[in-house]
Amino acid sequence: MEVAVIGAGPVGLMLAAELRLGGAKVVVLDRRTEPDRRPRANGLGGRIVEQLDHRGLLDRFRAEATFAGPFPGFPFGPVPLGFSGLDAPPRGLMLQQPRMEALLAERATELGAEIRRGHELVDLGTVRGPDGEYRIEPRYVAGCDGAHSRVRELAGIGFPGTTGDELMRLGHFRADVDLFATVAGLERGWNRRPGGRVLVTSLTPGIVIAGVREVTPEPPGEPTLEEFRDAVRRVLGTDLPLGEPLWLSRTASSARLAERYRTGGVLLAGDAAHLFPAGGSSLNVGLLDAVNLGWKLAAVVRGRSPESLLDSYHAERHPVAARTLTQTRVQALLDRLTGEDGDALRTLFGELAALPEATRHLAGLLRDTDELPYVPDLPLTVGGRATRVAEVMRAARPVLFDFADRADLRECAGADVKIVTAECPEASADALFVRPDGVVTWCGGDPASLREAIAAPGR
């Protein structure tokens, strides 16, 4: 095999699909015997939605989403942001993680990726499967195996940061009663109390999402309903008549960033590379890691690019996670600070966040935290047929968009570059060279500079 992807969560499956689009042979190994049914994420937002469009996956996701389109607003920690005044608010999809994972597994399998469940990594060359241990010899190993990454541990990559003393318990319950009518003073969303916060909301009819945050040691063993109820009683001061639990979890808030994303033939993506303490950014950033890494790794293993291209993965994605870590730390602090000081901070921050420029800045942080120039989804006319830039990007190949019928440029493109001669009145240049992940690396000019951009697509 050319690439072993460890972890069949959404990030690993997205990476497998990207690798297959680039022509790399890939096997996905996951120690779980079945897909994870826990809805740990409820949707996606920002740049990744545009990337799903580029890959032709957006319609699949949108068909099952409870919401798809521009977000009217979004919480920045406990402070609500309104996006009605923005020209281009972040786009979102509300779809629970198990369905995302199933759709991505379907796509990766369609493209020829092999997914082996119940296969656990022992070391970088050994796997323990249902029939015992066996050897693997991949050229590259991609660790998409989560916060407690075995790949990161085996590669000796440090994971500095902090783990807080606040515990988050979360559960989905089959609703038996109207909690808001039954419990006096209970509000939808987070209910702040001196001892912590209690979450009560619903995204699906008949299913209640409840959570408790409090400063407490993490008990041993798996979370139980009794433990959850005791925590609610401590923080809220009363019982919640929750119905049958569909699943329960508990996590400590962590803020960590891998020291490096690559060492030799080992690379990290998703929660194996970064953990954020708040804000729901983890899956968005992780999937974008996969899009950035996939085409680069495929180009290297297929011999189209030198191995040095992989260094640009860390150079481009590590700063994104660092920036996301900064803004999610702020979100966590705004949420956690208690008493009058906390109330004052949230009030003033909310007033500042409502200013148009501040709203635009915070929306940009939530949408994406890199500064790479992405190609806009412009309308095109190709051979008399109307299309869009996003539709041209489906195959995950580098594309030369020629808007001025320049034969001198087309002669520069190698066999791997897709050439699209098109009419585009909205284009700001006579030609664009775009990487498979939608990043523009050349914007008009002489053929020599185009040759350089094609030869060195990493920025």
Instruction: Supply the pLDDT for residue 1.
Output: 78
**At residue 117, does pLDDT exceed 80?**
yes
**At residue 176, does pLDDT exceed 80?**
no
- Tokens 């606040």 locate to 166
Question: DSSP character for 67?
Answer: E
Instruction: Supply the pLDDT for residue 459.
Output: 62
Task: Read off the pLDDT of each residue in 182-208 and give the average, rounded to a whole number.
Answer: 87
Average pLDDT, the chain: 93
pLDDT bucket at 115, cuts 50 / 70 / 90:
very high
**At residue 128, does pLDDT exceed 70?**
yes
* % of the chain with per-residue pLDDT over 90: 79
* % of the chain with per-residue pLDDT over 70: 100
Instruction: Supply the pLDDT for residue 37.
Output: 85
162: part of which helix (H) or strand (E)? strand 161-174
Q: How far is CA 176 from CA 156, 206, 244, 246, 405, in A?
A: 49, 8, 8, 13, 65
- CA–CA distance, 94 with 99 (Å, rounded to integer): 11
Outline where DSSP puts E strands in 205-352. Answer: 207-215, 245-257, 262-263, 266-268, 274-275
Per-residue model confidence as pLDDT tens digits over 203-246: 778 889 999 999 999 899 999 999 999 999 999 999 998 888 98
Per-residue model confidence as pLDDT tens digits over 330-381: 999 999 998 899 999 999 999 999 999 999 999 999 987 788 999 999 999 9
Instruction: Supply the pLDDT for residue 223.
Output: 93
| Number of Cβ within a 10 Å radius of residue 440 | 18
- Tokens 């406990």 locate to 78
Instruction: Supply the pLDDT for residue 351.
Output: 97
Task: Read off the pLDDT of each residue in 406-425 and give the average, rounded to a whole number.
Answer: 89
| Number of Cβ within a 10 Å radius of residue 446 | 10
Let me know: does 81 contact 359? Beta carbons within 8 Å.
Answer: yes
| Number of Cβ within a 10 Å radius of residue 140 | 23
Domains along the sequence of the chain with CATH: 3-159+258-367 (3.50.50.60), 164-254 (3.30.70.2450), 379-455 (3.40.30.120)
Tokens of 38: 């826990």
Instruction: Supply the pLDDT for residue 51.
Output: 96
**At residue 83, does pLDDT exceed 80?**
yes
For helices 339-353 and 356-367, the axis angle rounded to 10 degrees is 100
Instruction: Supply the pLDDT for residue 350.
Output: 97
